[in-house]
Structures are given as C-alpha cells and as structure tokens.
Structure 1
Amino acid sequence: MSKLDWQPAKTQPDLLAPPVVAAIDTIEAQVAPIDPGLADTAAFCAEYDVQLGESANCVIVHGKRAGESTYAAVLVLATHRADVNGVIRKHLGVRKISFAAQDEAVGSTGMEYGGITPVGLPADWPILVDSAVAAAGPVVIGSGLRASKLLVEGADLAKLPNAELLDLATPTA
C-alpha cells in the first residue's frame, strides 16, 4: 500500500462523503486520494499494489417480507463471495433479498456508487461484517466517494454501531 498517501481521515473531510464525515469519529481510519476511475476493486488493487485480501467490499442488500423492506450493508473481503440468498437472507429474516438498485443505494446512503462504506450508513441499518474481514488486519474500504479510500483495522469494523460479526462469505478461489 506504499503507492497511497495515507492521512488521518478526521483531518481530510474533503476526501469523505458527508455521511462519512459525520460518523468518522466512530472509527480509527486513514484516508488516501485515488483516481476515481480506478475505484472499482480490481482496478484499484492492480494500480495501487493492494492485495485483494487487503480490500473489503461493502454492498447494500434489500430484503422484503410481508410488505416490509429491510436494507443492510454487507462487508466481505474482495477474495470472498457473500452468501446473500442463504446466510444473509435468513439472518435478516426476509423472504426475498437482492442487491439494492444503484439509485436506491446512492439515495439511501448519500454516498457515491462504487465508494459506499459501512461508516456513516443510516442508523437503523444492520452492518453485517464477515468474520474474515475482522480477522484480516488492516483493510481498504470505500470512503463514500470514488476519489478516495479508507484504511481501517478489520476488527474495528465489527465494532461499528449496528455491526454484527457473522460467517457470511466463502473464498472465491
């Protein structure tokens, strides 16, 4: 991660989406600017010499049951695949589940698509953190913007408000 200029996130609010700025005190984090065209995980990792196992993706899922909607954030290592239709659906107690539509995810979080992060999400959303993320040591996650990334301890992500630590993903390789 030597190609990145990490700075304390609390001192660089211009590199964070507004909801992240409002919540950054909940976690120790570093932030680094990146080329927004390289925000997608594979391109980011290749360009900035970050291993996929040092990067975690945050996706927003939307579940429904009896007319009630539930949103949740799911955080897994880039080397893993979340069990959305099994573990996550059952854990949330929903009948149907899918990845949230891009416009829903952006509108609900106040963050840019491709930069969504668990820091600063709506207070009533569960944050489901895969146990491999918590065990990974430092991981790179979104900052709410495509133009930067956060570096945080994986174990600290499981301590975020509404975070739940689960075995919800399996390695892809």
Structure 2
Amino acid sequence: MAIRLIVQNPDPVLREVAKEVTKFNSNLHKLLTNMAETMYDAEGVGLAAPQIGISKRVIVVDVGDDNGLIEMVNPEILEREGEQFGPEGCLSIQNVNGDVRRANKIRVRGQNRDGETFELEAEGFLARAFQHEVDHLNGILFIDLAEELYDGSARDRRENGE
C-alpha cells in the first residue's frame, strides 16, 4: 500500500487524545495496512495512528514473537499486574531512549479491523509495547514517564521499545 511519514515530536497531534473509531470499512483497512508497512519500514515494534498524523484510536504491534502482527482498534487496558523497568525508544522521538516503569502483565481489549471485539493478555516486552502505543492514543509520550533519558542514537530500537 503506502509507507507514511512518521510525525516527530513536538507535533501537536502527538499530544491529542485520539478519537474512537466508529466506522470499520475499507479506509480503516487501508490505514492498518499502511501503519504496519510504515512500522516495518522504520524497524519499529509498534505504531499508533497519531504517529502518522491521524488522531484515531488505532495501533499495530509486532515485537517479533509468535503473535506476529497485532492490529487493535479502540484498545483499552483492562488490567495491569506486576512491574518491569527498562529502556524504551519511539519512532516519533529520534535518538532518545529512556528507562520507563510499566506493568509487566496486562489484559487489553479492542476490536479487529472488522469491528469484532477481542481480548489478549500480554507479558514482558509485548506488554510494554502495548502500553507505549496506548499511551500515544492518550497524548502521552514515553519521555513523560521516563525516569532517565539518554542518547539512543547507537541503540537498536527493536531492543528498546519501539
């Protein structure tokens, strides 16, 4: 389909609360496909629609595990358990990484590209990626949560959160 330009901080769209998706149609399917292609092209592990300038509650995540690509529309984290602390980066904030405290295990509910509701449990890195992307939908960036920020230019983004 198409690789989209990734919006960079401090673009105001990154600070908006994204709008709920109510129409599940070919436009949404195209958006999800473009988001996945954009994420893979940028060597990321997650992407939220606001990161390509679209204020909609849509995310894609692929941390390279057996789950493969996960598309989720209108995601909502229902439960958080435990704690993990580690590095994150972001495709919208180049060359910066930070150590962020997140839940180690989550249960999330959302809809697929056809509007069917589903839930999934995520742990570890996958849980971190989901929390990072859902934060994007609420106008929150990892730099808002990081306990320490550092130069991420030499680090592999795939190992560090996005």
Range class of TM-score, shorter chain? under 0.3
Structure with greater proportional helix content: 1
TM-score by length of 1: 0.26
